[in-house]
Structure 1
Amino acid sequence: MSLLQQARPATALDAGPAAYGWSEDQRWTLARVPRLIGRLFHVSYTLRGTSYLLHRIDWSPQVPAHRAVERDEDAIIAWRTETWAKVRG
């Protein structure tokens, strides 16, 4: 797969699973990626082949690349400085 061909799956993966109908969670699993590739390119990949492809484009399955949309950085900082400081002693 050429660099140009690799850019399209990477762009699709960046859009996230919800963009392709998987809204129950925000993780790309190894089982989902070959189904996405099948939709986009009309080819089939095995799980092992998909794993090799993901590693070639610097992706790993089941590891979210982005933080949750609901993440509140201010609340996290406050918790670390106040609550965690008390717990640590």
Structure 2
Amino acid sequence: MQGAQSHGFEADLWTLERVGAVVERATGVMLSRTSVWRLLTCRLGWSLQRPGRRAVERDESETARWIAHEWPRIKKGP
């Protein structure tokens, strides 16, 4: 499957509006948001997915170090 950027969108995230725009470009049929939702969920069996809320710059090793060393100190208090 091609991403949203390959269809001319700035971010590689699909929305109902974007799917509807691609369907319209490909078929000439304009679908409402509700119709796109029904097409994706009922007819194709797809489900809603959301991207994870993690920073791209996240450093897993630094996060693990902080949890192991800093959090217990903070939790313990003065």
* TM-score normalised per structure 1: 0.57
* Structure 2 counterpart of 1:60, from 26, 35, 48: 48
Highest CA radius of gyration, 1 or 2?
A: 2
CA pair 79-53 structure 1, distance change in 2 beyond 3 A: farther
Amino acid at match of 1:82: R
CA pair 42-59 structure 1, distance change in 2 beyond 3 A: farther
User: What secondary structure, in the 3-state scheme, does the structure 2 residue paired with 1:39 have?
Assistant: helix
Q: Deviations over 1:53-81 (max 9, x none)?
A: 121331427x24x9xxxx578x32x1332
Aligned length: 69
| Deviation beyond 4 Å, 4+ runs, structure 1 | none
Identity of aligned residues (%): 19
* TM-score normalised per structure 2: 0.63
Gaps of 5+ in 1: 1-10
Gaps of 5+ in 2: none
